[in-house]
Amino acid sequence: MVLHALLAASLALTSLPASASTAVDCARVKCLALTFDDGPGPGTSALLDTLRKEGAKATFFLVGKRVEERPKVAKKALAQGHAIGNHTYSHASLPSRLDNEILDELKVTQELIGKATGQRPRMYRPPYGHTDDRVLGLAHQTDLAEVLWTGTTLDWSLRDAKKIEAAVLRLAKPNGVILLHDTVPATVKAMPKVLKELKKRGYTLVTVPTMLRGKGPTSGVSYFK
């Protein structure tokens, strides 16, 4: 699909609501946000089933070209009450790109997610965590907040369910935001044990907007630096 051709197609869509988990008060309970980048992938639907079974909510930062491949999975994630964010169209390192290229990466993905789910995201995550003031300013033009993380599992390099489980448990802390990838099969495999153990430790698993307690995400603001 040609990026500019897609941008030319205007969709009358509303912005993604902050969260379906607004009943959770993270000022009173021990909250943790698991976030999954790079999907939807082959294992994302199974991961969604696991999350539903355990009563857990998560945040998915979707790559536009993969939303094109699996629009029904993106729709399923939103329908189950998870939060959805923009992770660019091609997983590009944004600071090295020209302004119009960055805007294309973000705007096209907004359109694709909107077309697949009926709602556009209010937040994005820069691939590799590569960002700067210029990128954040351009995201603001696209009405997007920037969401980073407090800890990364490096699951893409571990590729072992037990090691990924250990990494998540090591990084878990109240109001933490943990970076994972639903495109890593070992991550999907690790999640049933991870979720059960986190619940035993008293965590409530929520979306990023829920953890922000109604104070975001706000366009042009970067969270969890």
User: pLDDT tens-digit profile of 160-191?
Assistant: 999 999 999 999 999 999 999 999 999 999 99
Annotated active-site residue in 4, 37, 155, 160:
37
SS3 221: coil
* Tally of residues, the chain: 225
Note the pLDDT tens digit of each residue in 198-218.
999 999 999 999 999 988 899
Residue 31 forms beta bridges with which residues? 204
181 as an active site residue: the answer is yes
Peptide bond into 40 cis (omega under 30): yes
**Best CA proximity match to 171, nearest among 198, 147, 189, 190:** 198
Instruction: Check: CB of residue 82 under 8 Å from CB of residue 59.
Output: yes
- What's the per-residue H, E or C state across 78-146? HHCCCEEEECCCCCCCHHHCCHHHHHHHHHHHHHHHHHHHCEECCEECCHHHCCCHHHHHHHHHCCCEE
User: Which SS3 state, helix, strand or coil, does residue 33 take?
Assistant: strand
> Residue 7 has which token pair?
């941008």
Catalytic position from the list 38, 104, 155, 181: 181
Dihedral sign for Cα atoms in the order 180, 173, 53, 74: negative
Tokens, residue 116: 């697949």
Instruction: Give the predicted TM-score (pTM) of the model.
Output: 0.90
Tens of each residue's pLDDT in the chain, 225 residues = 444 444 444 334 444 443 344 578 999 999 999 999 999 999 999 999 999 999 999 999 999 999 999 999 999 999 999 999 999 999 999 999 999 999 999 999 999 999 999 999 999 999 999 999 999 999 999 999 999 999 999 999 999 999 999 999 999 999 999 999 999 999 999 999 999 999 999 999 999 999 999 888 999 999 997
β-bridge mates for residue 14, sequence order: 119
Residue 104 falls in the annotated catalytic set: no
Nearest to 114 by CA among 37, 217, 14, 4: 14
Contact 191, 51 (CB under 8 A): yes
